Amino acid sequence: MKDLSVAAFQMSIISGEKEKNLKKVEKEIQRKEFSNVDLWILPELFTTGFTYSLFSKIAERKFDSKTINFLEILSQEYTIGIAGSHLIVENENKYYNLGFIISPSKGLVYQYKKIHLWGIEKDYFVAGQEIPKPINFENKAKIGLSICYDLRFPEVSRNLVVNGAEVLITTSAWPGVRIEHFNLLASARALENTCFHIALTRTGEEEDIIKTIYPGSSRIIDPMGEVIAKAAKKEQVLTAILRAEKLAETREYIPVLKDRKRKF
């Protein structure tokens, strides 16, 4: 791993307003103070939110996505990576929550269909069936991504780390009633895997089939489980430099990946 500069955008998503949300992302990326960022992270379903009643109108095709095309242009123009998740539809109105990572040199390099669906999501989405291997992002870090409810299942993060991940991304829309779970689990996934963890959620309110309040609480966590950047209860951009030296030191000091038992 090499040092990696990251920016996590804790957005207040405008429900169902794809164009407005994309413009909001573009405006933040263009700010001069973020000119040295290597990788941007966006919240779960950042262009649409969970506006179930509008899914048939706003979902995109996987191989003809306006969102991905727009982000690839931004990625190349500003020489940045971009990660997050968005809403796609496949044949017979099958909806997926699709995670992605875009590289400035290679374009779309990582796609992941959310495996674990929470509550009402089961009525609208189809669950993914596999966890892709981490990608080598610009020869700086090996990165794996999961989505929201996946955070409660430690085997997802462990699978990514066993396959080489040095940085975990959890893109989410975590509700306020369970936000302390998010905080605890985010640190646990970093510490138990001795890796960096960018745990991003959103802010704002959403009322479609159900009403949900999102208080924020995004955080960036080091391999010792220590929070190195934390967001307030508002829309904001979190930044941090993920230090390669910290990863190496922690994995030498706490060699859980070497010492784990593969069979017992």
- Residue identified by tokens 């003809």 is 64
Residues 6+ apart with CB under 8 A from 152: 116, 181, 185
Residue 162 has pLDDT above 90, yes or no: yes
Q: If you search the block for the tokens 């990660």, which residue do you land on?
A: 83
Q: What is the pLDDT of residues 227-246, one digit of tens each?
A: 999 999 999 999 999 999 99
- Nearest C-alpha neighbor of 144 from the set 97, 96, 174, 189: 189
140-167 mean pLDDT:
98
Average pLDDT score, the chain: 97
Residue 101 has pLDDT above 90, yes or no: yes
In a domain, 56, yes or no: yes
Mean pLDDT of 136-165: 98
Residue 114 scores a pLDDT above 90: yes
With a cut of 90, say whether residue 25 has pLDDT above it.
yes
* Number of domains the chain is built from: 1
Q: Domain limits at 98?
A: 4-259
| Domain annotation covers residue 264 | no
CA distance 127 to 116: 7
CA gap 155, 181 in Å, rounded = 17
pLDDT tens track for 190-230:
999 999 999 999 999 999 888 999 999 999 999 999 999 99
Q: So what's the pLDDT on residue 263?
A: 83
Domain of 250: which CATH number?
3.60.110.10
Q: Is residue 210 part of a domain?
A: yes
Specify whether the CB–CB gap between 60 and 66 falls below 8 A: yes
Report the chain's C-alpha Rg in angstroms.
Answer: 17
What is the spatial distance between Cα 204 and Cα 180, in angstroms, rounded to a whole number? 17
pLDDT reading at 108 higher than 90: yes
| Residue 264 confidence (pLDDT) | 81
In a domain, 25, yes or no: yes
Largest CA distance in the chain: 53
Task: Judge whether residue 28 has pLDDT over 90.
Answer: yes
Residue 28 lies in a domain: yes
Q: Are 84 and 42 in contact (CB under 8 A)?
A: yes
User: Mean per-residue pLDDT for 91-113?
Assistant: 96
Q: In the prediction, which pLDDT does 63 show?
A: 87
Count Cβ atoms below 10 Å from residue 1 Cβ, excluding itself: 21
Coil, strand or helix at 162 = helix
Residue 220 has what DSSP assignment?
A: E
What is the C-alpha separation between 4 and 157, in angstroms, rounded?
A: 20
Vertex 236 angle, CA 233 and 242, to 5°:
110
Closest CA to 147 of 212, 231, 50: 50
Read off the DSSP letter of residue 127.
Answer: P
Is residue 205 a part of any domain in this protein? yes
| Count helices and strands in the chain by DSSP H and E runs | 7, 15
